[in-house]
Amino acid sequence: MKKLFFAFLFAALCALPASAQTVRVLLAENLKSAQIKNSGLVSVYAPGSSKKFKVSKPETITVQALGGGKVRIGALQNKGALVIEPAKNVTLTFQKNSYTGKIYAVPSGNTFKIVEYTDMEDYLLGVLPYEMSYSWPLEALKAQAVAARTYTQMEIKNKKKQDFDLYSDVRSQMYKGSGKTYESVRKAVSATKGQILTYKGQPFYTYYHANCGGGTDDAKSWTGSSAPTIKPLQGASCSYDKDSKSYSWTKTVPQKSIDRFVNRNGLKGSVKKIKIGQRSPSKRAETLVFTTNKGKKELSCPKFRLAVGSSVLKSCKITDVDKAAGGFKFAGLGYGHGVGMCQDGAKGMALAGKDYKKILSNYFPSAKITEK
């Protein structure tokens, strides 16, 4: 009987879900005050305190910086963080987005940050619809879920000593909270729950971008790293992204934007000529050579793209550059940095009947899907 009891107890313990991983997302910083709307019951308290104040009805909760590392919510103030914790099925709305995790007001000098503490899987519900359309095929969404989960895991690993793990924008991943969800996204996240990509047993940065223009690139062409790149990030072929409007493009970059960039990087004068310098194996421009009446200089194309606007110069896979009225006309292929998973390609592969495992193995060769 005792053996049967312990066997039952062991089985019950094994059936318990693994502890959820918390993701800390920076929603805003340098705030003097903020308004957060609750849809129902919330608790307000200082971390570690047994005293919790309840707000039972929907209202607008005001957070204020008091200076000297202090913040206040209603009558409660603290030298340190304050927390707004929603009950189950209650959302917190901040800057037009709704969240289901705990909201921390974290003081920083005379201002404060708003940081959400949320579960990994809930976090992904607020990432996928803004990094890949919820209307796309389920297998593409599954691939995006695994890539985003792995990327998040790496960010958590590398930011342990900071107040947060990820930004809520393109500096990390686009995130607008899990208060509003889509059934297709829920299916993709649920079907891949806990799955990450690893190489030789270790997770890695699973970069992704909109369109690769016919092939992805070695990560070091974008990061500028001199260290050898692991196999999954050395580049991959892609023949499924051509139907996207982002596959090819032309754009005129204003003269003043170009001049501002070169002037800030040590080249005086107004740019008269631009030509491609070094190219990566996938024909992306790694450098551009700028010529003015004061001289010439070879500068990083990825840095130039960010300086003039990543939606203006859609990629560094430039096929042609010509002087034009008001600036320079660029023609090119793809949209984004060109490293890791091509999202348009993932969509194309899914439409062609490939499952998410095939998609991920194509863009991250030699990587394995691992259950966390």
Tens digit of each residue's pLDDT (9 = 90 or more) over 67-108: 999 999 988 999 999 999 999 999 999 999 999 999 999 999
> Does the structure show a pLDDT above 50 at 16?
no
Whether the CB-CB separation of 306 and 300 falls below 8 Å is answered with: no
pTM of the model: 0.90
Angle at 175 between CA 185 and CA 71, to 5 degrees: 135
Of the pLDDT bands very low, low, confident and very high (cuts 50, 70, 90), residue 19 is low
Residue 7, number of CB atoms within 10 A of its CB: 10
Helices 343-351 and 356-363, axial angle in degrees (round to 10): 140
Cα 170 off chain centre by = 5
Of the pLDDT bands very low, low, confident and very high (cuts 50, 70, 90), residue 359 is very high
What does the pLDDT read at residue 2? Answer: 37
CA distances from 288 to 271, 275, 304 (A): 12, 6, 8
> Does the structure show a pLDDT above 50 at 4?
no
User: How far apart are alpha carbons 142 and 342 in whole angstroms?
Assistant: 14
Whether the CB-CB separation of 165 and 155 falls below 8 Å is answered with: yes
Task: Give which of 145, 135, 76, 65 is closest to 106, Cα–Cα.
Answer: 65
What does the pLDDT read at residue 145? Answer: 98
Of the pLDDT bands very low, low, confident and very high (cuts 50, 70, 90), residue 3 is very low
What does the pLDDT read at residue 228? Answer: 84
Of the pLDDT bands very low, low, confident and very high (cuts 50, 70, 90), residue 17 is very low
- By CB atoms closer than 10 A (0-12, 13-18, 19+), residue 317 is buried
> Does the structure show a pLDDT above 70 at 285?
yes
User: In the chain, what percentage of residues exceed pLDDT 70?
Assistant: 95
